[in-house]
Amino acid sequence: MVTARRGVMQMSKYTTNELMAVTASRLIKDGQNIVVGLGLPQVASLLAKNSHAPNMNIIYEIGVVNPESVDTGVGIADPRLWYRSDYFTSFVGSLGNILHRGLVDVGFLGGLQIDKYGNINSTGVYEGERFRHINGSGGAADIASYSKNIFAIAKHQSRKIVELVDFITTVGYLKGGTSREDVGLPKCNDIKIITNLCVIGFNNELS
C-alpha cells in the first residue's frame, strides 16, 4: 500500500504473516461454509468476513460457529475464540452434523509440511533416523477428508514445502489421480497452498 506523509510517498510496511493472511482471505467467497484451523487461517477468515464475505460461516471444530474473536487463542478450547459466536455446539455438531454431511466448502488448515500432492503433515518429522513427534491430527484429518476444497497456509521454506511429507496426517490428493477416491474418500475439488511467495495449485496427475 502506498501512503502520503508530509508530501512524500511511502510504502506501508507489513509482515510476512499479514501478507499471507490477506492473500488467503481473498480466496474466500461470500456464503461459503469454512472449517477453520487456528493461527493464520483464523486471521484470514475473520478478515474475509469483515470485508468482502459477510455471509460466510466460520466453523471451529470444537463446535463454535461465526465467532467475532479479537485475540487469537492458545488452543482450540480457549474461550477467547468463542467471543460473540452465533452458535455453540460440539465436535459431533461441527464435524458430524456439518462436515460429514458434505456441507463444508473449504477446510482451511496449517501444517508442518505440505507435499506435491497436497498432503499435510502436522504429526512429526524425521531428524536423521529419529522421528520427532510434534503434534497430532486434531480434526484436520476429518476436515480435509470431507471438505469440498482445501486451503493450506505455510511459509515457503524447503522444510515446509516438500516433495513428500514425512507422515501423512491429512490427506490431500494422496498419490494423485483417483488414489484419494480409491481408498474411499470423497473427491476433493481443489487444493490451494498459500505461501509468502505464491499460491500453489495442483493439476492432480499421477507421477
> Which one of the listed residues 61, 68, 129, 163 is annotated catalytic?
61
Q: Phi-psi bin for 95: left (phi > 0), alpha (psi -120 to 50), beta?
A: alpha
How wide is the angle at C-alpha 39 spanned by C-alphas 141 and 49, nearest 5°?
95
DSSP bridge partners of 36 = 108
DSSP bridge partners of 133 = 124
- Residue 181 among the catalytic residues: no
Distance between CA atoms of 29 and 52, rounded to whole angstroms?
8
Break the chain down into helix, strand, coil percent, rounded to 5: 20, 25, 55
Active-site residue numbers?
Answer: 61
